[in-house]
Every structure is written in structure tokens, then in C-alpha cells.
Structure 1
Amino acid sequence: MKKSSVVVTSILATACAAALATGQGSDGVQWLESLEPAPAATSTEPVDESPQRWFVELSGTPIADGGSATQLQSEKKAFRDAARSARLKYIEHYAFDGLFNGFSVSVSRAQLSTLMRMPGVRAIYPVETIQRPETGTIGPAMATALAMTGADVAQSELGLDGSGIKVAVMDTGIDIDHPDFGGAGTNGATTFPTSRIVAGWDFVGDAFNADSSSALYNPVPSPDANPDDCGGHGTHVAGIIGANGQVKGVAPNVKFGAYRVFGCNGSTTADIMIAAMERALADGMDVLNMSIGSTYQWPEYPTAKAASRLVNRRMVVIASAGNSGGTGMYSTGAPSVGDKVISVASFDNTHTRQSVFTVSPDNTRIGYSPASSAPPPPTAGSASLARTGTTSSTADGCSALPAGSLAGQVALIRRGGCTFHLKALNAQNAGAIGVVIYNNLAGPLNPSVAGTPAITVPAVGISDTSGALLDARITGGGASLTWTAETGSFPSPTGGLLSSFTAYGMSPDLQLKPDIGAPGGAIHSTYPLESGGYATLSGTSMSAPHVAGAAALLLQAAPRTSSQQVRNILQNSAVPQLWSGNPAFGLLDLVHRQGAGMMKIDQSILATSRVEPGKLSLGESEGGAVTRSLEIENNGTAPVTYTLSSVDAIASGASTFVPQFFLPKTGVSFGTSSVTLEPGAKAVVGVTFTPPAAPVGGQYGGYLVLTPDDGSGVLRVPFAGYIGDYQARAVLTPTANGFPWLAKSTGDTYLKQDEGATYTMAGSDIPYFLVHLDHQARLFRMDVVDAATGRVWRRAMQTEHLGRNSSANGYFTFTWDGMVMAGKRSEVAPDGRYVMRISVLKALGDETNPAHWESWDSPVITVKR
């Protein structure tokens, strides 16, 4: 699974060992060694991350914010007319009025600057391609996940089931035949809409796939009225929210709206998401779950803005924070970074449901996961267990074994040293009739033995502790393995900790994201009947629907709760969890990764007091101490006194792509140490934060704790901020490849032009600029400079709110078509010698402050048509 040893050898390390895994940097701050594996080293090869499909935002106000439909149509006509006059060649995919004003279009890179220069264009944003997570085959029961969030208590003791609430699921659709949603099952045909899936639409059709690298690439939607699911992800998500059958979801009596934005395979695009949002609004949904998103984006990204507008229109919107934790800080995706959207992190489930074999002499039950690309394990039969060797070089199975040395036996092999395929192949060639690979790190193992030649014997993965037990049995005189048809629930060593994949915040405008967490690591739920009916998935895709179901329970219990209040209520009662990097430290995990912590819906519903705001985003600490106010309200029937305190969480370092962990001290002082509230009373308390001085460029955080004297639930408010001057953060970093580049296109690649180049400005013979963004940029500008005088002559283009690159070697490609802006019109730059000045305004920067800008001047560009 996800935890590995770097310095300390066990996730259950003693306090003494944990202390040895810390140190002190040159700035005096204490750093902490994580047991999670560091991100894998990446190649220095540059990676082109430039999109070819773009959102075009026009200047008018969308209908959801009070805009005029007539005015919006007039703006769109003006854009189309101007594009025709400018000979802009583009494909218009969608036009939006309700939640976003603009289009999604495809345009060649050669004409990107032309698109940016069109009159009436406020900004352009990449239309991200969104991948769907892979599936597993077996996993934890939903019951253990429901217990983690208190949803089981809300159902059994509070009598809540989501009745009367409509929840929209924007995903791959929902299997309308599934009996857990009231369908007819495999023996009948269900007609849509059904008694539980009451609304929806298929925006794409079965064959749609937006992944241009796939052999099944088909970007042309074929919409229809039936959102039945053939991909599986949406049925799984819906099951977590509200299945009522073999799987029982969080809110098992909600009604569903199914908005299908994926085909049977592959990816979708962000513009289709906005189309689905507008449909969900028209259908009167109360809650929207979006277990999809676009990483590294701003709250201004179109899906994020559209989602916040839905909240303004009385819909609770929940979105997954994203599975991009391995790519570092500021990786939370849109729409979850939307100002009013509930962004959800993922915690691992407390238990893992696995298939079982037993081991002699006492029939000890061992849970296992079948290896992918191997035959399925049998459900009966016994064989003796044997190791592949007695030394470290042979016990890992990486060396060829004597023919027949494992004949008729099941081979026990330790992870490490070579691929799972080679281990299994060596055992198979030695005559083994099965392979059991055990983890060399804490937790279960889910191996793949894919490779050539194919593995033809069953292969499975087990945990490190189970492997040690089997090894001891073999050493002690031998043991036999018996396959069974049983499954069992086994405790997970990472249960209740943040999942390794869950994304880091904050958002680029330093708003605290994610907002809250829920179980998302290895969740067993419904799946299309033709694919087995049930399956296991992991991801923030699975944590978001826990919160969507919880929102339905809250709205059922308190129907007058506004969409704007739900997030605060859930955050007040959430419980922050220990650091997944090493829980033995006893320290709380990063606030900008877990938000308020693990959701506790039963406590949220039972709470009689409320604190607003539900979170505090403290911004950058360049100005020193920061003061905020809390409003505490007692809605109960008896007086209550709250004692105020605070606790720090782990901080992260300055690096964007490689997480670093520290323990700084935040000074927190309250205007009063306690507050007594009579029933119906409110009080405002000032809180002053003195941010840590180091590590500069890192993010810090913690929790304000309000402890009542009446035994009711503790209330908490998470806080987070940036250490130092945010505008000192580098954006235009050169990377290992020396970006930015002036380049020429050769079709498939780019040639760097160190000494300048001559361009005819015909076809693709135009200047290309390869730019790496180490952080999100507020503004991106290209100005044409006269090479002779060094003065800015005209602006080539400007856009805003660009996301960062996903890796240290990623880059975006920009072009200049030889046109410049002259007031509200464009004109041709005459032949001559120019320099392109590329400038970025830092996140939250002041446009009038030169210190908040970074710029790069290209080599001389000669235009000779």
C-alpha cells in the first residue's frame, strides 16, 4: 500500500525512533522525516502540457449572476463576427450562458495569440482532459467507512436516510438496472427515469473518449436521454451516496439525477462538465457530487466559478480535491477550489475486505489481493508453501531458480529488487503452481504481474505482517496453503490516515483547500451488473460522495439549512487526524491537505452551537500578525461555556514538487479564554495569529478548539497561511531544460533558438515560446519590444489565472502570429527585428508593483514575410 520506510523502519515506530527522524534546518525550524515514499524521480525530458481546447470567457455577467440573455447572445455574435474577420480558424464545441459566459473552442497553437486578442475576450482557460480512476475487484465493506464518518449513527439512531433530497451525480452515469437502486436486475429491463433515478441526461454517448493518446480516441459526443452507465465509476459513486441493497450508502433513500459526462472508456473534458451543471440546475437538484476535476487551477477556472454560482442558486456542491498528491503543493483541482464548493480529501478505510486462504497447522486466515494479469486464484485445494531461497539475494525471487525446485508448491516471495512479473516468472519456471508476494512495507499489497511471457499460475499479494507469519511457519517446519471461497475484513495499518494520493492545497489565492475529508481509500460499492455488480475503487472520487450523502442527511434533518451554511456546519464538527507520514509522532496532518479533518455527520446534526467562519484563510505572513474574528452561536436550550485553545499541525516547505514537512510554532492568542452563551445568544471573539518565521515559502496551519463544559461535541475551526512574502515565490523558473525558450516547430518537436531566428509568419513558421510555470500565475503577458530601442512597442496578448505545470519539467507552449493589439483592434507588425518580453504577475500580486512581476526577454526575432 502507501506507507514505506525512509529512515524509521515501522509505521508503528516508538517515540524514541520517531525523535531520531527529525532534524533542524539552517533556519532553525524542525523538519520531520516522513515514512511515506518520496515522489519517484522524474526524467529531465521536457513534457509539453499545452492544451488545444480552450474556454473563452467573455466580459458579460452570466445569467446565474443576473446577466441578460439578450446581451449574452449579442456578445457571442460579436465574438463570432470578429473571429471571422480575423480569419481565426476554430471549432466551437459548447456555448454557455447560465453558469459561465463564453465558449469552449479548439484552435491551433499557431492561432492561440489570435484567440487571446479577440475583442470582448476577458480570459481563456485550458479545457482540461479528465481521466477516470482504475477499478479494483474486492475491498472493504461500506459499513466500516460509514462508521468512520458517523453516518451509521445518523441512520440507526437519528433515523435519517436522505428522504426528500435530490442528489445529482455528474459522472459515468448510473446503472439503472442495478437492484441497489431499485432496478430490475439482470433478468429485467428498467425504464428511465426510475423511482430512484428521477432525472438525468447522457451528454456524450458510449463511444466518447477525450483522451487523444488512446486507441479509442473519439472526441465527438453523441448525447441521448438515457444516462445508463457502462463505465462503472458513476455507479460506484452513487452507491456510496445512496445505494440501498447489498450495499447501503450514506443516504439510502435519496433520489438521484444522473448526468453522464464519460463514455464507456477513457476521459471527458471540463466544458462538458459545465453543460451538465447547467442541466442539474434546471432539474432542481439539491446536492451535486462531482468526483472529477482539473488539477492546479484557480477558483476563477470556469468549472469552479460555475460550481460556486450553483451554491448561490441554493445547491450544495461537493467535489473531490483530486488524486494529485504525488505532484506536490497547490495541486487541488477545480471545481473543488471554487470559493463556495466543498472540497473533499481522502482518508484510507479502517478495514480491507479481501479474499482468504488459510495456512496450516491451525488454519490461520490470511487476506490477499489477486495480482492483475494472472489467472484468478482457485477457491479450493491445498499445496505446500516454499520460499524461493534462504538468502536475501534469493528470497526476493529475482534470480533464476533450478528447474523443478518448486514443483507442485506455492512460492512465497518478498517484494523488492525486481518487478513482480520477474518474480512470478522465475517461480513459474521452477514449477510453482502459485505465487504469494508479500509486502516489504507496512500494509497490504496489490501487485501486477503483467509482462511477456504471460504468467499462467495464480499470483496474489499479501501484507508485510502476513508474509512474516508465513515465513516463520516455513522456517518452523513447513506449512501448507489452502485456497477458499471466503472473504474477510482485515484491519488496515493506514486506516484513518490521509490517503497517499490525496491532493495538497492551498488554492493559488491562498484560500484553505481542501475543506474536509472522508473515506476514499479502497471503498467497496456498487458497480454495473454486466461488470460484476460490485467493485472497489480508491480516490478522492470516493471520499466526495460520502460528503454528498452526508449533506443530504443534514438537509433532511434541518430543511431550512442554506447551501451556504452546509460547509461551515460540517467543518465545525470534523475531527483532524494524525500525520500519515508518521503517526507515531502524535502530530496532526497538514491542514492544507485534510482541511477540517474527518467528517462526523452525526455530530454535525446533533450540534447545538455553531462557529463562523468554518475556516480561516490567513494569507501571506509578510505583514506579521493577523487578527480574525469568530462568531459563536448557541442554538440549544441551556447555557454553555466554551474554553478556547489551539493546536498546531504540520507545515510544508517551500518546494512545489517535492513535499517537505516541518513543525513550526504558530502564536495564537484569543480576546478571551472562555465564552459563556445563554440559549439563543451569540458572541464575537477576536483571535490574533503570529505566523512562524520559517520555513520561508512554506504553508502552516492548525486548529482553533472550542471545548464545551456540558459534554457536547468539541467545535473546531481550521486555519492556514503562507510563510513569508507570497510574491517572492518564483514562477518563471528555468528547470533543467533552461525554459523559457524561443523555438521553431518541426511538427512533433521544437528546436530552441538561442541566437534568435527569422520567421516568415506563414503557417507554423512563427515564433513558439516554451514556458515552465513553477506556480500559478495571476496574469500572463507577451509584449513586443523593438530590438533597436529596447522599448515596448505593442502588446501581443494577455490572459489571466494560469495553472502551474504538473512537474518540474513540464511546459506550456505559446505563440505569436505577428499581430499586435492597437487599442480595441489588431494590426500587423511590420517586418523587422523584435524581442518578445514574457511577463507574469505573481499570485495575489499588485499589478502596479514592479516587484510582483517576473519577466524574460527572448532572443531577437526577425520577421521577414
Structure 2
Amino acid sequence: MSSKKNKIATSFHLAAACLLAFSAPSIFAQQLPENAAEGGNLWFIELSDKPVADGNSKNNVKAAQDNFRKAAKEAEVNFNERRSFTTLFNGFSVQISSSERAKLMQIPGVKAIYPVELIQAPNVDVDHGGSAADMANALGMTGADVAQNLFGLKGSGIKVAIMDTGIDIDHPDFGGNGVNGSTSFPSARVAYGYDFVGDAFNADSTSALYNPVATPDNNPDDCGGHGTHVAGIVGANGTVVGVAPDVTFGAYRVFGCNGSTTADIMIEAMERAYADGMHILNMSIGSSFQWPQYPTAQAADRLVEKGMVVVASIGNSGASGLYSAGAPGLGEHVIGVASYDNAATSTPLLQVNGRDIAYNTFTFSGPVPKLGSADMVAIGRACNTDALLASPAGKVALAVRGVCGFGEKAANAINAGATAVVIYNNAAASFSGTLGAVIGNGSIPVVSISGTDGAYVLAQASPVLTWTNRSIKTPLATGGLISSFSSYGLSPDLALKPDIGAPGGVIYSTYPLERGGFATLGGTSMSSPHVAGAAALLLEAKPALSAKAVRTVLQNSADPKVWSLNPNTGILDHVHRQGAGMVDIDDSINATTYITPGKIATGEGEAGAFIQRLTVHNQADVAVTYQLSAVNALSTGGVITPTFFGSDASVTFSSNNLTVPANSSATVDATINPATGPVNGQYGGYIVFTPEQAGQVYRVPFAGFVGDYQGIQVLTPTGNGFPWLAKLGGGFFSNCAAACSYTMQGDDVPWFLLHFDHHARYMEMNILHAASMQPVHPVFHKTNVSDYLPRNSTTTGFYSFSWDGSRIHSNGGKGKTKEVPNGDYVIQIKVLKALGDKNNPAHWETWISPVITIAR
């Protein structure tokens, strides 16, 4: 495996925290751990001038950035600049204290600020059992097998960027030289890329492996595993065959071997992929609960505008309710991908005395042969404290699970001369596991079997193991249904997200050779590269297709699936969870019709019927007539905890049939009458175009909000009675239920704990005199002004904000602030709801703190 080095940056985390129960003697009514709050000191600064990708010159962008630096210095705003961006985003990432942050919005040229999110390495279930047939199952679910075998499409000539943990360039499935070889980068298959961080990089300050020092280099080799698995789904060509097995890869490594990265590193990688001329970018990473205005989503949108197809996982926060989709998948032009479970899982088979036995391969096992036979001998537990029951020299050793680790058992058998090791369960079922590290030279296979099969082998007088190239396929009960982890939309601006889905649950693909070579993982991380591979096949078949049109064509031919929690009802699953449905690659390639727009966001139902003009483009040499109809999908109520309802939405058309001339287009108006329930719910469905003669059916998904979107409460108390005025000490926030005095030294400043049950468009904190409840200045009385705040991920999560005792004293002049004198004050917190009208008082929520005594 190619050697690697070390690297990282610092961290900010806006993925929701769960509150921890705590009780301790205190004069305060309640206390909560400081580290249970969401927040940080890393921020993006977006400047008002457009970036280069939007048509600005590089000189103008750099001049605007120099002007900002100069103004910030004059205003005595203290921060450490981490990164600057010019192409896809005009601005910076900085490290800045909460007290200094309030001054940023007052500097001339600043458009907005956003937290630099900590991006956790995607959390997936790893199972090193399974076989390449698992990927073959997935290809059959989407028609990728048809595109490859009947149409001869393999993604040739298409460059696909993988922003992830890197790619194992030694892996034979990517044309590498194998575990004992060393493949030079760039290689024929992995021809582009860069490592932005290094092996040791980990941006998570709560981790024991925290290392905020990035050490970039030119070799994006993978030691984490996730990126190799993702790349295999796109285009492995060996034991595993991906969706588009002839694509050329770019590997843009943003994770170390363990832990997390940050959103500013993602933008840096996007700019590099753009410079390298990649056709498609897959990002199986993201920040849940975000807005489409978040910088990673903005940068991704600009890539699409410049001609690159961008595909991103929508997130694995299905358990966290609605509006949990993540950026960059929320980007307006990005293809945000949901996950369906694989139709079946396949387990490889060996034989013992003629009996088929399913096995799983341990992580760090040597390669498992596909033919050959050998005698077996039982050696017992094979722990260091045990004598082996028999010598396994030259034979397959059979050990029983228990007492010591799998690696210890395998090492003892291998050191005694075993040519292979089989560990059987101490219970009836099958299992999988890890050896912890490569044993010896890594050439000896180590596999597991069930306890039932182990008992059979023990009962044989002379057991002989025969390796086979066969496997057994087991259908999954949830196959073809939305995965339980897949995130819900809509976007907080009520855009329809996710856009489309693909198999992502139980997917067997490539893995770094030193970690076993192959693994079965599950997540939207696995569904996103399937769609990226589909886009590669589509671009190979239709090279004139624009980056924006790729999503529309894929959506038109997608196949919506029934409700995952009760498929027998026949009700279609939520549009705001599956988008257009399962990607159907061969139908998209064969399509002679496409319909724009490819999806419809109807917005707030209180506005009444929504009229959308649809344009049907016929690229065939004959006219086609379509019958128009609509079908509803399941509705949901709530936010963090969804409830499920049928929908009474309806659709009428300006004409119930539409004839489209050959090589021409025609339009039809669809009037969507919104659902009337549930309260504060989401509804959706599909407009269906069915040809009168034989031919393909096309669909356009629609989704919207029931009633008044501002009916959702943002600042909810939860069981902790938020918002709080709080004191911080000893690592805990204490609730000042009545009043509190602060010295304004160190952490002894006012803190405010807020739970956001839903996204907020804007928040401001106003400083009032406690006695008169009047602002401390007629104009300049604000602190902590923020845009586009995400919701918490749990019903008890919270954010913390501090106040340094100063007020902003400018209208965008020079970031000027003034200290308020000692005395008694209250803070008025005002939150503008998502899509709210700032001139409508009903769209604001307001809370006034207990009395704050500043006693410096």
C-alpha cells in the first residue's frame, strides 16, 4: 500500500448535540454540560462581490478581499485567517471569538457569515461478509446492468471526482498492483487528485486523536476506507464491477485515517476539482440540518453552473425527522440523493464434505481462494492460554469463538502452520468481525461460519474444506424501500429535496487492501456514487447534455417506491424523502422525451392553488401523445418527530392529454391544489405522463407545505425550559432563572442557551435597559446578528451564544463597537422564521432575558 503522511485544521460543530443528564449540588435550578451545546469559533465570511465563477475577475475579487482585511484591521477586529477563496466562493474561513464575531457584519463588503461546520467522517455499518453479487444486485435494481451489457456503456472518457478519504490506488479493482505492490500516483484509473489533510488529520476537538494540523501532499491514497468503497460503487472494475467501470477518477482527500474534516476544506477541494476539469463530482459527505445558502452548497451550485454535474448524499439523519437534509446536497442545482436498501445480500459459500456453508471474511484476512481443497482439524479456542487441541500444520484450522479476540486465535493457528483459519460461532447464528491487523504477510485467509455449521464440521470424522466461487443470495425484506437512515426534506426554503434515490443500504464494494480489500457498507454515502455512476453513463450516451439537464433527465425516468414502514398499503413513500424515486439508468438513456422543470416545489399551501407550466420536449422522429394524471404520496406532520397521513392534494390540467410533435415541444399547465392537512405538514405526489401507444412513462414530482409555514414554532422550551440566561463555570452552564451578575472577565459573561425546533432565517439580540425596557441607544443596540441558522437535530439539543458587554455602534461603517457601562440590562432575542417577512410581526418570535447585572 502506498505510504502516507500526516495533516488537519480546527473544528466547528453544528450537527446537533444530545443533552446529557446531570445533577449536582448547586444554587442554580438547572445545570447542563458546556460540551453538550452546539457551537464553535470557526466561521466563513462571505463578501458582497461575486466570486470568479459568477463572472467577476480574479483581480476584483482579490481587491475586495484586501479591502476587507484593511477595514477589519482598522476596526480592530481580531481573527486568524485560515483559508481564502476566490473561484467558487468569495470570502474566507477564520477563527474568531464569539465577542469579536459580532463585529464582522459591520465591516464594509461583508454579505454574511456562516459557521464552518465540522464534517464527521460518515458513520456507516461495516460488514466484511457479502460478495460482489451484492453490487450486482444493486446494478440490476437501477438498470445499470442493462446499460453496461446491452448498450455497451461503461463511462469511458468521463472524469469523476471523489471527495472523500481518498482512493486505494494499489487496489486491483482500480488497476493497482495489489497489496504487496506499489502503484504510482497518478495512475491510469486514478489520474487526478490531491490530499488536502494527511493521515493524522482529525478536526474533532473532542476526539483523543484530535490533530488540527493539515499536512497536504500530492498523493490521495486512502487509509480510512470510505472513499475507496464509494469509488468502487462508481467505477470499480475487477472483483467488484461498479456502475461505470471505465471512468477516470480524481481523488480529493479531505479526511485523515480517522475522524473529521471541516467545511472550508471541502470548498478548497471543490476548487481543485474544478481546476482539474472533472465532469462529475461525488460528495458522500455533508452537514445535516443546513440551508441551501450554506457555503458548500453555494460552491457546489457554481460548479454546476460551470458545467460539472454535482452529486451529494442527502444525509443519514432519518431518525432526526423532517428538514434534516444536508449541504451540499441541498444546493439548488445539486443532485441530492436518498438511499434505498439493496434487494438482496449475497454470502460466499465453501463446502465441507459436500455441504454448502456460508462464510464471512474477517477484516484484515488474506485473500480467500475460489478453488482448492484441504483437510480440516479442530484446534479448540486457540487463545494464548490454551494448548491447541491438534496441530493445524498444512491444514485448515477450525477454532471456536470466545474468551479471546479473533486476531489472537488466527495468529496462533497461522503461527502453527495453518493454511487457512475458520472460526465458528459459539451460538447458532452467523457473524462477522475483524482481526484488528494483518497477520504475518497477510496471505492466510480467515473466515467465520455459524455455530450450526461449526457443529456439523465437528461431527465429521475426516472433514475436507473445498473453496468455491459460488454464493447464496438472500432477499432483504426491506429491499427496494427507502432505508431507515435516509434523511427527510424538504429544504428549509421549501425546495424539493432530496432529488432522487439509489441503492445505498447493504452495498458490497472495494475497501483498502490492508483492511480486507472489500466490505459491505450502508448509507446515503453509498447511494450517491450510484447516481454519480449513472450520470457518467448518461453523459457517455448523450455527451451534449448540460450539467443542469442531467438531473432532469434522471428524475423524469425515476421510479417512486411504496412506503417503507408499511409497503402493503401501496401508498407511495414521501416525495420529501425519495424525491423522484429510484434512479432508472437504462430508461434515462433510452428516453426520447424530457420534461422541464424536473420537479415542482409548491411552497406554502396558504397561498392556494399552485400553477406550474410544464414543457414536454420530444426528441423522437414521430409525434407522441401523453395522457396526464397525478398520484399522491404520503404526507407528514411535525418536524423533529414526524407523523404520517394520507394526502387530499389534487392536480388538474389545462388539457388531460398532450400531443407533442416530432423533434418539437409542447406545454401544459398543471394546477396543484395543496393538501389540507396535517397542520404544519408536508405533502407531495407525482404528475404522470403516460403515452397512448407503447412507450416509456415519465413523472414529475411535486411537494409543498400544508398551510402557513410560519406556523412552526422555532424557539421551543423543551423539557429544560429554554431559552436560558446562563452562567458558565466548571464546564457547566447554570440556569439564571431570575437574575445574574457578571464580572465580564473570562467566561463570566452572559450566556444564552436556545433550542431551535426549526430553521431560522435570521436572529438578532437587542440590548435594553432593565428599568425602562428601552434600547440602550436609539439605533445602535444590537449584538449577535446571524443569518440562516439550522435547527437542532434532537428535541433537547441547544445552541449557546455569549455577550461580551458591547454593542455594535455602526451601520456597516468600520465594525465599531462600544462597551455598555456597568448596570442592569436585559437582552431581547428576536428570531425571524424560515421564509418569514421581516415586516410581518407574526413571523417573528421574541424572548426577553432575566435581568443581567454587569459589574466589571
Which moves more between the two structures, 628-637 or 101-110?
A: 101-110
Q: Counterpart in 2 of 1:597?
A: 581
2-structure distance, mates of 1:483, 1:749:
60
Which of 266, 269, 278 pairs up with 2:259?
A: 266
Matches within 5 A, 1:413-812: 434-436=425-427, 487-654=471-638, 656-793=639-776, 794-812=781-799
1-structure distance, mates of 2:433, 2:171:
30
Cα offset for 1:170? 0.6
Answer yes or no: is 1:158 the counterpart of 2:141.
Answer: no
Q: Counterpart in 1 of 2:303?
A: 310
Q: Secondary structure at the match of 2:84?
A: strand
Whether the aligned pair in 1 keeps the contact of 2:617 and 2:665 (CA below 8 Å) is yes
Task: Summarize the Cα distance change of 1:720–1:482 in structure 2 as closer, same or farther, 3 Å threshold.
Answer: farther
Alpha-carbon RMSD across the aligned residues, in angstroms, is: 3.4
Q: Which amino acid aligns with 2:540?
A: Q
2-structure distance, mates of 1:325, 1:267:
21
Q: Secondary structure at the match of 1:642?
A: strand
Q: Write the deviation string for residues 176-198 of structure 1: whole angstroms up to 9, x where unpaired.
A: 22222222223432221112222
Answer yes or no: is 1:348 the counterpart of 2:332.
Answer: no
Answer yes or no: is 1:299 the counterpart of 2:299.
Answer: no
Q: Secondary structure at the match of 2:606?
A: coil
Cα offset for 1:78? 3.7
Cα offset for 1:110? 4.6
State the TM-score, normalized to the length of structure 2.
Answer: 0.83
2-structure distance, mates of 1:51, 1:368:
46
Task: Summarize the Cα distance change of 1:105–1:411 in structure 2 as closer, same or farther, 3 Å threshold.
Answer: closer
Q: Which amino acid aligns with 1:225?
A: N
Q: Counterpart in 1 of 2:233?
A: 240
Q: Which amino acid aligns with 2:821?
A: P
2-structure distance, mates of 1:239, 1:816:
49
Q: Secondary structure at the match of 1:809?
A: coil
Which of 49, 70, 73 pairs up with 2:59?
A: 70
Cα offset for 1:51? 2.6
Q: Secondary structure at the match of 1:565?
A: helix
1-structure distance, mates of 2:678, 2:368:
51
Whether the aligned pair in 1 keeps the contact of 2:363 and 2:515 (CA below 8 Å) is no
Q: Counterpart in 1 of 2:39?
A: 50
Q: Secondary structure at the match of 2:536?
A: helix
Q: Counterpart in 2 of 1:838?
A: 829
Identical amino acids, percent of aligned pairs = 54
2-structure distance, mates of 1:199, 1:357:
40
1-structure distance, mates of 2:449, 2:566:
28
Cα offset for 1:90? 2.9
Q: Which amino acid aligns with 2:711?
A: A
Whether the aligned pair in 2 keeps the contact of 1:131 and 1:267 (CA below 8 Å) is yes
Q: Secondary structure at the match of 2:798?
A: strand
2-structure distance, mates of 1:757, 1:42:
23
Q: Which amino acid aligns with 1:517?
A: G
1-structure distance, mates of 2:287, 2:632:
30
Q: Write the deviation string for residues 409-449 of structure 1: whole angstroms up to 9, x where unpaired.
A: 9999xxxxxxxxxxxxxxxxxxx9733366xxxxx988999
Which of 173, 182, 196 pairs up with 2:166?
A: 173
Q: Secondary structure at the match of 2:427?
A: strand
Answer yes or no: is 1:815 the counterpart of 2:806.
Answer: no
Which moves more between the two structures, 251-260 or 124-133?
A: 124-133
Q: Which amino acid aligns with 1:80?
A: R
Whether the aligned pair in 2 keeps the contact of 1:845 and 1:852 (CA below 8 Å) is yes
Cα offset for 1:117? 4.8
Which of 825, 829, 849 pairs up with 2:820?
A: 829
Cα offset for 1:168? 0.8
**For structure 1, which runs of at least 5 residues remain unmatched after alignment?**
1-39, 384-407, 413-431, 439-443, 451-456, 475-480
Cα offset for 1:862? 1.8
Whether the aligned pair in 2 keeps the contact of 1:257 and 1:285 (CA below 8 Å) is yes
Q: Counterpart in 2 of 1:278?
A: 271
1-structure distance, mates of 2:581, 2:611:
23
Q: Write the deviation string for residues 189-234 of structure 1: whole angstroms up to 9, x where unpaired.
A: 2221112222111100111111222211112110011111111111
Q: Which amino acid aligns with 1:273?
A: M
Q: Which amino acid aligns with 1:615?
A: K
Matches within 5 A, 1:24-43: none
Matches within 5 A, 1:214-229: 214-229=207-222
Cα offset for 1:586? 1.2
Q: Counterpart in 2 of 1:854?
A: 845
Cα offset for 1:791? 2.2
Cα offset for 1:98? 1.0
1-structure distance, mates of 2:843, 2:762:
11
Task: Summarize the Cα distance change of 1:42–1:485 in structure 2 as closer, same or farther, 3 Å threshold.
Answer: farther
Q: Secondary structure at the match of 1:185?
A: coil
Answer yes or no: is 1:80 the counterpart of 2:64.
Answer: no
2-structure distance, mates of 1:841, 1:588:
34
2-structure distance, mates of 1:645, 1:380:
65
Answer yes or no: is 1:122 the counterpart of 2:111.
Answer: yes
2-structure distance, mates of 1:575, 1:704:
12
Task: Summarize the Cα distance change of 1:660–1:131 in structure 2 as closer, same or farther, 3 Å threshold.
Answer: same
Task: Summarize the Cα distance change of 1:482–1:87 in structure 2 as closer, same or farther, 3 Å threshold.
Answer: farther
Task: Summarize the Cα distance change of 1:445–1:50 in structure 2 as closer, same or farther, 3 Å threshold.
Answer: farther
Which of 332, 345, 350 pairs up with 1:339?
A: 332
Which moves more between the two structures, 550-559 or 658-667?
A: 658-667
Which moves more between the two structures, 187-196 or 158-167?
A: 187-196
Tell me how many residue pairs correspond in the alignment: 761
Task: Summarize the Cα distance change of 1:523–1:78 in structure 2 as closer, same or farther, 3 Å threshold.
Answer: same
**For structure 2, which runs of at least 5 residues remain unmatched after alignment?**
1-16, 23-31, 379-397, 403-422, 437-445, 457-462
2-structure distance, mates of 1:502, 1:516:
12
Q: Counterpart in 1 of 2:223?
A: 230
Answer yes or no: is 1:96 the counterpart of 2:89.
Answer: no
Q: Counterpart in 1 of 2:418?
A: none
1-structure distance, mates of 2:826, 2:465:
71
2-structure distance, mates of 1:329, 1:484:
51
Q: Secondary structure at the match of 1:792?
A: coil
Cα offset for 1:517? 0.3
Whether the aligned pair in 2 keeps the contact of 1:410 and 1:436 (CA below 8 Å) is no
Q: Secondary structure at the match of 1:592?
A: helix
Task: Summarize the Cα distance change of 1:796–1:540 in structure 2 as closer, same or farther, 3 Å threshold.
Answer: same
Q: Which amino acid aligns with 1:171?
A: D
Task: Summarize the Cα distance change of 1:774–1:80 in structure 2 as closer, same or farther, 3 Å threshold.
Answer: same
Q: Secondary structure at the match of 2:473?
A: strand
Q: Counterpart in 2 of 1:418?
A: none
Cα offset for 1:369? 6.0
Task: Summarize the Cα distance change of 1:377–1:51 in structure 2 as closer, same or farther, 3 Å threshold.
Answer: farther
1-structure distance, mates of 2:712, 2:466:
57
Q: Write the deviation string for residues 603-652 of structure 1: whole angstroms up to 9, x where unpaired.
A: 00101111111001111101222211111111101121111111111111
1-structure distance, mates of 2:823, 2:749:
14
Matches within 5 A, 1:138-153: 138-139=129-130, 141-153=134-146
1-structure distance, mates of 2:65, 2:653:
52
2-structure distance, mates of 1:632, 1:75:
44
